[in-house]
Structure 1
Amino acid sequence: MLKVLDSVDRDTGRASISDFIVDVRSSPADVSADWPRGGDADTPARCHAFQTVTFIETWQATYGQAHGSKLCLVEVRDAAGRPLLMLPLQISPLEGGLVLGFTDMGVSDYNAPVLFPTAVTWTRQSATALWRAITARLPPFDIARLDKMPEHVGGLVNPLYLLTDRANPESCHLANLDQPWSEVEQHIQGAKNLRNRFRALDRLGGCRLLVAETADERQLILAALLEQKQRRFEETHVPGFDAHPEKRDFFTLGTERFAAIGALHLSALMVKDEVIAALWGVTQGRHYYGLFITFEAGEWTKYSPGRVLHHQLLQHLAERGYWCLDLGIGDEPWKLAACDVTVPLRQATILATLRGRFILTERTIKERLSATRFWQKLRPYKWVVLRGLRRSLQRAALPR
């Protein structure tokens, strides 16, 4: 049953708004030096890659612009001015109102604040006061949806997790690499078979793991990755880059931006000079995040190139001291078979206005409709028709 926080003001607790100094910036260029840029773990801040300045800049230039979003980059300090947390939020005109959420829209796996070690003991009461202090400084919004939130970030308690009202539908999954390789492989279903398939690919003329180090290598892998992913979108009858170009633009722009700070990890499984599988990832310290995996179909399917790439990359990262390969959000069977750690997530829906309640009601009706068997059967055909119509219009627009 869906629970909704009409307001968190009823639960005031011991902490009060005056305990927090809140500043809200509208551009990543204006945030303080305390906000981590990304890649380097040599900072007191604890965060995932999805809350770094580089990620936010890339998100705003792609997803944010596509959806008319207004950034609300929140910095919270204690009464002495010491940083407590940084929170990347945005307000978008969606569903007939203004919706507050994280800088996400499907591209982030973990949503949480950037946290700093502090003497504050986070409880539901102090977290409630924190949220009141933050929303008092935000522009107006109708409803807040805070989803995909972990309980801890870098060993520190996530205060927003304490405001959650239900579990997130999906969890995150990662492979623990902070152990001997022989133990890592024990958790991978079919590891021996994956080694055999790599050897079979190698007999075709040479198979290797390529980790991009140059601009040419990055463009080679990126072009193959985007082509493979779009083809997969079309094969599975779901909206792809043609319907949502901001998805393609994020990875295109992000490739060079994350590479510039040493946080990009773009890899491919190569047979001769052909990319048969690719994985777009970023790093934050010794934490590797795999955001986007693709693979060739057809004659390559029997070799399971995506799973072989993942297996090769696991060993590559383990040899270089990474402590995990994080496949992120999603409960797909192959992730469960490849990972030994599950990170449960939670979410909260917070109403701010009467319009927010209307938005929630409409959203609930749509979610129930989309869960019906009839809608599940009908949905793929919708994208076949729309994609065909878009291509017809593009051909009609060509000069004759």
Structure 2
Amino acid sequence: MTDVDFNMMPVDKMRGRASRATRAAAIEAAATDSLTLSVHVSLDALEADWRRLEASNTISLHQGFDWCKAWAKSHQNPLLLVRGNLGHKTIFILPLELVRGRLFRTARFIGAPHSNINTGLFSSDLGDLASQDFAACVIKQLGEKLSRVADIVTLEKMPFEWRGTCHPLASLPAVRNQNASYQLPLLENFETTLAQINAKRRRKKFRVSEKRLEALGGYDHVVAKTSEERRALLDLFFAQKAARFKVLGLPNVFQDPETQAFFHRLAALGETENGQPLELNAIRLRGENEGRIIAIAGLSRKGDHVICQFGSIDEDIAADSSPGELLFFLMIRRQCAEGAALFDFGIGDQPYKRSWCTVETVQRDIVLPLTVRGRIAAWLHRSLVSMKSAIKKNRTLYAFVQRLRQRRQGTSAGASSEMDNG
């Protein structure tokens, strides 16, 4: 902003500017004063406003009504659904759940452990409230409403710049999450899309994969259509992923019955008005290995945004054909043809993501302590994020940590170059 020299400004202009600034401040203060927050425990009671807000292209599918309801039905965490009203109009919803640990009570985004990108649900038109005062007012009232039931509020994995918009809470202090997320813009056609990432090399790898699978009898790209097909592929994914984590000496983030029930609920929804909560894709062999599934991926789509939630491969057969890479090639080609605009590989730095993606999205954590214990929890959160970030930046140190994990789990496998999302 250009500095204003009041000593050189005519008195009438100076008064005019001061008057306009005073009126603007008064309007903003009045708007902020009329912002009220309320806390709810029932998703269904907020469904109409929720679905209206989530329709925006800038809202993450992880804050979608169907996603959050599937998680809530599969877990027993109390819900803390924070609604912000301006007069009688709902302008935002923060879908939180309460997680009770041994030391701290944390209010976090619903399903946070398995979300790739979080935005909350904010109206695209906040009027005079789109300011630092709005963000400060939200946090102040959030503390007043939740301090009796929670020690800390964590709004994790939030991009402050997302799809051309600045997040309404971007003015708040935040720590950079140890992981970024990675995206590939989908352009007018598949050829143009591939041109962003060395199309010649991609096509060569695709032909090599196809040639090796043809030697085994060929393959089919399968997109599960029925609930039975989706259930079968999802169960096979859990088995393949468990085997992979065991080899790597990593904790299995999909092993809990509640987590598996959550993904089964998503898959059972099929296609909805707003997209596809969970679509199962696979590579299935023909020939002597007829029916063998060698690669699986779960995609979620909301509007024109597609996120790969997870993937796995069968490492006992055809591993040299790079079935995971082949499946990504086929899925991205299909999503281009179906009008998607952004293919999201999700959070976590892995070499294959960097090889496909041209966009890296920084994510941040807003941490709000509500009690004395909450201040300790906030310090621990920031310290842990800083430590993880330092470890992941140091490949030698990260490999050492991986070896420690492997020894702890009693496996002799060597350290992997694959990066987990922790």
How far, CA to CA, are the matches of 1:59 and 1:336 in structure 2?
30
- Bigger drift between 121-130 and 273-282 goes to 121-130
Partner of 1:90: 97
Partner AA of 1:274 in structure 2: R
Partner AA of 1:128 in structure 2: A
Partner of 2:48: 33
Counterpart among 136, 152, 163 of residue 128 in structure 1: 136
The within-5 A match list for 1:1-400 is: 14=29, 18-36=33-51, 43=55, 46-62=58-74, 64-65=75-76, 69-79=77-87, 81-118=88-125, 119-138=127-146, 139-152=148-161, 155-188=164-197, 190-196=201-207, 197-240=209-252, 244-259=256-271, 263=276, 264-272=278-286, 273-361=291-379, 376-384=402-410
Asked whether the 8 Å contact 1:167–1:346 carries over to 2, the reply is: yes
How far, CA to CA, are the matches of 1:182 and 1:242 in structure 2?
35
After TM superposition, give the deviation of residue 235 of structure 1 in Å. 0.9
After TM superposition, give the deviation of residue 319 of structure 1 in Å. 0.8
Asked whether the 8 Å contact 1:172–1:345 carries over to 2, the reply is: yes
Ranked by relative contact order (alpha carbons within 8 Å, sequence separation 6 or more), the top structure is: 1
After TM superposition, give the deviation of residue 360 of structure 1 in Å. 4.0
Partner AA of 2:282 in structure 1: A
Asked whether the 8 Å contact 1:161–1:346 carries over to 2, the reply is: no
Aligned residues: 365
How far, CA to CA, are the matches of 2:346 and 2:385 in structure 1?
23
Q: Structure 1 residues 128 and 107, CA, compared in 2 at 3 Å: closer, same or farther? A: same
Q: Structure 1 residues 170 and 115, CA, compared in 2 at 3 Å: closer, same or farther? A: same
**Equivalent position SS for 2:114:** coil
**Equivalent position SS for 1:160:** coil
Q: Render the CA deviation track for 1:333-370: whole Å, top value 9, x for unaligned.
A: 11011111222111222222111233345556767888
Partner AA of 2:374 in structure 1: G
Asked whether the 8 Å contact 1:115–1:153 carries over to 2, the reply is: no
How far, CA to CA, are the matches of 1:243 and 1:268 in structure 2?
21
How far, CA to CA, are the matches of 1:297 and 1:187 in structure 2?
30
- Bigger drift between 18-27 and 375-384 goes to 375-384
Q: Render the CA deviation track for 1:6-60: whole Å, top value 9, x for unaligned.
A: xxxxxxx94776331322211222214021299xx8x457411100111111212
Asked whether the 8 Å contact 2:41–2:79 carries over to 1, the reply is: yes
- Structure 1 length as normaliser, TM-score? 0.82
Structure 2: gaps of 5 or more residues = 1-27, 392-396, 412-422
- Bigger drift between 147-156 and 360-369 goes to 360-369
**Equivalent position SS for 1:27:** coil
After TM superposition, give the deviation of residue 137 of structure 1 in Å. 2.6
How far, CA to CA, are the matches of 2:115 and 2:78 in structure 1?
17
**Equivalent position SS for 2:374:** helix
Partner of 1:9: none
Q: Structure 1 residues 363 and 285, CA, compared in 2 at 3 Å: closer, same or farther? A: closer
**Equivalent position SS for 1:269:** strand
Say which one has the larger Rg: 2
Structure 1: gaps of 5 or more residues = 1-12, 386-400
Partner AA of 2:189 in structure 1: P
**Equivalent position SS for 1:106:** helix
- Structure 2 length as normaliser, TM-score? 0.78
| Structure (1 or 2) with the greater helix fraction | 2
How far, CA to CA, are the matches of 1:36 and 1:135 in structure 2?
26
Q: Render the CA deviation track for 1:131-172: whole Å, top value 9, x for unaligned.
A: 222333335321222221012456543222321322221111
**Equivalent position SS for 1:184:** helix
